Amino acid sequence: MLDIKFLCDNPELVKENIRKKFKDAKLPLVDEAVALYTRKCAANARANDLRANRNKISKEIGMLMGKGLREEAEEKKKLVGAQAKELADLEAEETEIEGKLKDVMMKIPNIIDPSVPIGKDDSENVEVKQFGEQTKVDFEIPYHTDIMARFNGIDKEAAGRVAGEGFYYLMGDIARLHSAVTDYDSDFMIDKGFTYCIPPFMIRSNVVTGVMSFEEMDAMMYKIEGEDLYLIGTSEHSMIGKFIDTITPEESLPLTLTSYSPCFRKEKGAHGIEERGIYRIHQFEKQEMIVICKPEESMDWFNKMWGYSVELFRSMDIPVRTLECCSGDLADLKVKSYDVEAWSPKQGKYFEVCSCSNLGDAQARRLGIRVKGADGKKYLAHTLNNTVVAPPRMLIALLENNLEVRDGKFVVRIPKALQPYMGGMTEIVEK
């Protein structure tokens, strides 16, 4: 969310930013916000005048009463009473305007970084760099759920009976491989200096609206009926929410957390080959990282964070690339974002496995996350988040890139980094 004073001082800049995001339908929101803020300031100024006048008259009443001039004092009281009604009406108007203004401001996109490429949608995202050679094999790689089935590692049919479409059971060595990945990536991030965290898996609505746009909320979140609680779609939201309405001493920054959690998502509009199997599902596990830092340090942290994801995937022999999200593919709160994509030898292309985002002070403004500087002044922190790894998609990449056929059976090589978490196993063999 932008600072309203910044918007009022720079309406054309804000409108140009909206055009760069190809969201022209939101252009009228800028003028609406300016008009509402102007009304709010006028109402506030008049209310302050009335309060000051009330204090002045109250003193006069006291003086008149002290002199025994009761009739004059009663006339002054009538004036106070008349102004009290106007003041109450103004205060109600201020509250109403503030609510409308907040709703409008929360729909206006954040200002994107000047380095972000301009494009309408994800088809115009820009490849930054590839890491590792693309895996080539001389046999046909089955679809990932078929690979898992060869190891008796997945049961979607039973999950369908229990919970419906979009769920699965992982079994045996595949389930163990999943757990090995989560254990390894937790240690990986702890070794990078991040504090390990297991957060609440439900959050209140004020946290939800503090960390994401209304459009994202509608597409992702499951609401707990009858309660002000939502199941988390990613632990990043719960971790950022930990700092709602807090003031952190500047010397305590940066705050770096990593967390494991289950995640729950509606996945509205999912379709195509990458929506079958376990690409897009309603429940999965994920490791996240967040950083809360000084504004001048946020871009340095952004580059560190996506770099950690690349390093993690390469340590498991998975080729990846980084892709910069263009303006039209950035969610409203994001200043800049990179996707890390893993190579799929089955599909002959890369697919998203991580998303690293710098949100500037947008989340901090919504949630009241402030920093107290050495000079005693308070300012808004910057927040960043990045997927460490989502094991369902990691499993797809790991299985496809480490798959062999030996004596007519499928064999999955276990990367050296994971072997200690698999009891020393170096491979798993088709049952």
Looking at the chain, the domain(s) classified CATH 3.30.930.10 span 122-429
Q: Where are the beta strands (DSSP E) in 169-274?
A: 169-170, 195-197, 202-203, 222-223, 230-231, 246-249, 255-264
Q: Which CATH number does 122-429 carry?
A: 3.30.930.10
182 compared with 431, residue with greater pLDDT: 182
Q: Cα Rg for the chain, rounded, in angstroms? A: 28
Residue 273 is predicted with a pLDDT of: 41
Q: Are strands 255-264 and 349-358 parallel, antiparallel or unpaired?
A: unpaired
Exposed/middle/buried for residue 11 (C-beta within 10 Å: 0-12, 13-18, 19+): middle
Mean pLDDT of 52-71: 73
pLDDT in tens, 315-347: 999 999 999 999 999 999 999 999 999 999 999
Q: Cα separation of 393 and 353, whole Å?
A: 6
pLDDT tens per residue across span 338-373: 999 999 999 999 999 999 999 999 999 999 999 999
Which residue is listed with tokens 């049919």? 157
Whole-Å CA distances, 176 to 148, 188, 283: 12, 18, 18
Give buried/exposed letters for 17-35 (b at 16+ CB in 10 A, else e). Answer: bbebbebeebeebbebbbe
Q: Where in the chain is the domain with CATH 1.10.287.40?
A: 4-105
Predicted local confidence at residue 275, as pLDDT:
53
Read off the tokens for 196. 């390990």
Q: Residue 19 contacts by C-beta under 8 Å, 6 or more apart in sequence?
A: 27
Q: What's the pLDDT at 89?
A: 84
The pLDDT score that the predictor gives to residue 355 is 95
The DSSP annotation for 277-325 comes to TTSS-SEEEEEEEEEEE-GGGHHHHHHHHHHHHHHHHHTTT--EEEEEP
Contact 337, 236 (CB under 8 A): no
Q: Rounded mean pLDDT of 148-154?
A: 95
The partner residues of 222 in beta bridges, in order of sequence, read 231
Query: Mean pLDDT for the chain?
Result: 92
Could you tell me which of 292, 362, 379 has the C-alpha nearest to residue 1?
362
Q: Which CATH architecture has domain 4-105?
A: Orthogonal Bundle (1.10)
**pTM of the full predicted structure?**
0.89
The tens digit of pLDDT for each residue in 170-185 reads 999 999 999 999 999 9
Inter-axis angle of helices 11-20 and 28-66, to 10 degrees? Answer: 150
